[in-house]
Structure 1
Amino acid sequence: MTPRTLAPLWLATPSRFAGLKPARARWALALLAVLLAASLTALATPGPPPVSHDSSVSAEDRRADDQADVVLYESIVAGLRAGGNYYAVTAAALRAGDYPLKPFVTFRLPTLAMLQANLPQPATVAMLYILAAAVMLAWFVRLRGAFARPPPRAIALILLAGGMVAFVQADLAGFHEVWAGLLVALSLALRKPGRWVEAVAFGMIAMLVRETAALYVGIMAVMALAEGRRREAYAWAGAAALFAVVVILHARAVGQVVRPLDPTSPGWAGMLGFGFFVKTMGLSTALNLAPGWLAALLVALALFGWSAWNDALALRALAIFSGYAVLLGLFGRPDTFYWGLMIAPTILIGLAFVPDGLRDLIAAARDRRKITVTRLTR
């Protein structure tokens, strides 16, 4: 007997869970319950120190404490504008701020700093806004066929905007994850079957801005190979190989300015678990305004929503979110919560797929129709 398929609510086509056999649907509901419960571990997971509101401290000093990394990057750009060498300037800035200089990954690649040093600050901010607008436009086009009517499509775009609240703040224009996160979101939206050149190009730029974008590129290569798209997989792999060469050259340049007694990073084996990933998503999006328990549950539902959209893009997005969840859960520290910005722009879109996915899953689990056999006597 073929399971009953209901007409879609918001989506243009039935969700991935439409027509599931009852036994599988019940297992899926059980896994959803586990996911929701696991998300609540974020409430017991350590986070970054709270923002200072001490009125006795000057605004400049409060910013130096609350946005220390941003201030560091701004000082590096200022040093470059004064004619300094990137690696020498960065080493001096790291020492002045009591930052570790070992291993070499404590130095960001020079891409963003060099760009900002050669542009006036208003132009840099304008470029950031243009990039954010391009992400919105690309996802509008990509989601246009996913929903049957304009209202749910508008809701999806509002959710996208909710994931981008940190990406349109001029004060954060020096933050590498802000640029790389937007580039990853743009790359993912532009990638379509048979059209991947632009996506690979923006993925490459994202890696040159922030090294952790290499995880995105690697996942895209694996997914392309799994889908039997070898040319695309080779393109992603080629971008990763080219980036590896850049990293080797970067490491050599760092080695020339680091001293034997310079401090070493405490490492990145945070082992904070899935709850830390959930917390970073809450801190990196508009969910930061919601109570912690609600934000955690909504992050879990967003992941569920992405699993419900019956589209190859959804599977890639889910694989990317899962990859960064592992990265953050295993290697993140409370002070590296900003790694979550790499995927924050798009994760909340998944909430727009929840109504169809949840309805279809519950309907499939409750399907108790029986086959009635009638014998006719002639």
Structure 2
Amino acid sequence: MSRTTPLWLATPTRFAALKRNRARIGLVILAVLLLATLTALAIPTPPGLDAVSGGERHQTDLMLYEAIVAGVKGGGNYYAVAADALRAGAYPLRPFLTFRLPGLATILAALPLWVPPLLQFLLAFTVAATWMLRLRPSLPRTLPMLAGGILLAGSMLAFVQPGLVAFHEIWAGLLVALSLGMRKPGRWIEPVAIALAAMLIRETAALYAILMLAFAWLEGERREAIGWGVALAAFGAALGVHAYAVAGVTGPLDAMSPGWAGLQGFGLFVKSLTLATALQLIPLWAGALVVGLALFGWAAWDDPLGLRMIAILSAYAAVIGIFARLDTFYWGLMVAPVLLLGLVFVPDAIRDLVTQSLDRKRITVTHVTR
């Protein structure tokens, strides 16, 4: 088994330890993954996309959130304002999950108009700085670090747009990325607190917390696992209070949600990530393949953080593929902030996988009988 000098990384990828047959299976899996990303071509353009990409706007979720913030800023009760806005936009009001938790709208309404975009930019900058510092030991050379910075900027395209400041996934996605980037063995209190803030903005961040709890438990980090459990319990209590408040402003005649069994498959996950990043600037087929390579790169990074990242991406891919509808494509924003950073691991990953797949058994002569 050969161990070659890394191209960009400080250490070889996890594929460098594979035996020949497993490396060949890995190449087949990579090919299947890239082909699977092309199913994004069969996904129709999500409705309301123009509100995210800067075109002429019509009634969208973003406009709904902006109307709610404006109503709360005008002195209205959050739940009464949200119920009126949902009815006015012909949105469903049942079950209670059709109402976002009140935290973000309340905070945005309490701040001067110029403050939220500034906070959004500062949070995005903090996420970028945290991840660049976290990757520095793995990328000891200047060129890979420069490439990482460019890729990170491409991942952040949507997250620095002031026009999306009322979008819950923007804040929650950044907080999830910050929590994950800060987490290290023995340092979990701040990541747990940040993840709780993300959950109180967008409920789907709970999936991230559940996965982090599972990793902590499997790695024997019992105190950390308890911390994640406490955060999830606090979120559950807040969700219960939220459900009670929603019940006070809705009735049996209010519209019911059509459900979340979208069953759009892996293609919607891939397309959602191309729309959430700079990949929206290139043809969809090319962007889809880049998403596949980024996933491959994260899987290759021989670091506990890389394993967590690919597990989180896989879990959200499953949730989006099964439950998301076309009009909820923006769920991909939850994992988009650092997605493209996975590409920095691809050169070494492909080289290691190809090298190991071509590796031949060597016979070493240790004794000669005359």
TM-score bucket (shorter structure) = over 0.9
2:61 maps to 1:63: no
Identity of aligned residues (%): 57
Aligned to 1:371: 363
1:13 to 11, 36, 46: 11
**Does 2:118 correspond to 1:120?**
no
Distance in 2 (alpha carbons) for counterparts of 1:145 and 1:154? 14
Contact 2:192 2:228 in 1 (8 A): yes
Task: Give yes or no for the alignment of 1:322 onto 2:320.
Answer: no
Task: Return the alpha-carbon distance in structure 2 between the equivalents of residues 273 and 259 of structure 1.
Answer: 34
Amino acid at match of 1:258: T
Measure the CA separation in 2 of the matches of 1:50 and 1:43: 18
Aligned mates of 1:349, 1:171 — CA distance in 2: 25
- 2:155 paired with 1:163: yes
Structure 1 counterpart of 2:221, one-letter code: R
Contact 1:124 1:173 (8 Å CA) reproduced: yes
Find the counterpart in structure 2 of residue 222 from structure 1. 214
Equivalent residue, structure 1, for 2:44: 46
Structure 1 equivalent of residue 260 of structure 2 = 268
Distance 1:136 1:288 in 2: 20
Deviations 1:5-62 (A, max 9, x none): 0001000111111131101111111111111111111111233037569xxxxx99x3
Residue identity matched to 1:159: L
In 1, Cα distance between equivalents of 2:328 and 2:304: 31
Aligned equivalents of 1:282, 1:369: Cα separation in 2? 42
Hey, what's the Cα distance between the residues in 2 that align with 1:194 and 1:343? 24
One-letter code aligned to 1:364: Q
TM-score scaled by length of structure 2: 0.97
Deviations 1:117-154, CA, capped at 9 Å, x for gaps: 11011011111111011111111110111112021012
Map 1:18-37 to 2 at 5 A.
18-37=16-35
In the aligned structure 1, how far is the partner of 2:364 from the partner of 2:344? 38
- Residue equivalent to 1:278: 270
- Preserved CA contact (<8 Å) 2:48 2:327: no
Moved over 4 A (4+): 50-53
In the TM superposition, 1:92-131 aligns within 5 A as 92-131=84-123
In the TM superposition, residue 234 of structure 1 has moved relative to its aligned partner by 1.0
In 2: Cα distance, 1:216 partner to 1:228 partner:
19
Residue-by-residue CA offset, 1:69-99 (whole Å, 9 max, x unaligned): 1211111111111211110010001001111
Contact 1:46/1:276, CA 8 A, preserved across alignment: no
Cα drift, residue 370 of structure 1:
2.8
Measured after TM superposition, the shift of residue 374 of structure 1 is 6.4
Contact kept in structure 2, 1:47 and 1:335, CA below 8 Å: no
Amino acid at match of 1:217: A
Distance 1:226 1:46 in 2: 40
Determine the C-alpha separation between the residues in 2 that align with 1:210 and 1:377: 73
Cα shift at 1:375: 4.9
The match for 2:230 is 238
Q: Does 1:248 align with 2:240?
A: yes
How far 1:309 moved relative to its partner?
A: 0.6
- Separation of aligned partners in 2, 1:141 and 1:94: 42
Show CA shifts across 1:308-367 (max 9, x none).
110000000111001100010000111000000000011111001000011000000001
Cα offset, 1:158, TM superposition: 1.3
Residue 299 of structure 1 aligns with an amino acid whose one-letter code is V
Runs of 5+ unmatched residues, structure 1: 54-58
* Aligned with residue 193 of structure 1, among 185, 188, 197: 185
C-alpha spacing 1:52/1:135, structure 2 compared with 1 (3 Å) = closer
- 8 Å contact 1:181–1:344 — kept in the other structure? yes
Report the more deviating stretch, 165-174 or 42-51.
42-51
- Relative distance call for 1:50 and 1:254 in structure 2 (3 A) is closer
Alpha-carbon contact 2:48-2:58 (below 8 Å) kept: no
Q: Is the 8 A contact 2:41 2:267 kept in 1?
A: yes
The offset of 1:290, in angstroms, is: 1.2
Letter of the 1:64 partner, please give it.
H
Q: Deviations over 1:214-246 (max 9, x none)?
A: 001111111111111111111111100110000
Structure 2 residue aligned with 1:56: none
Q: Aligned residue for 2:130? A: 138
Cα distance in structure 1, aligned partners of 2:257 and 2:218:
37
TM-score normalised by L of structure 1: 0.95
Instruction: In structure 2, list runs of 5 or more residues that go unmatched.
Output: none
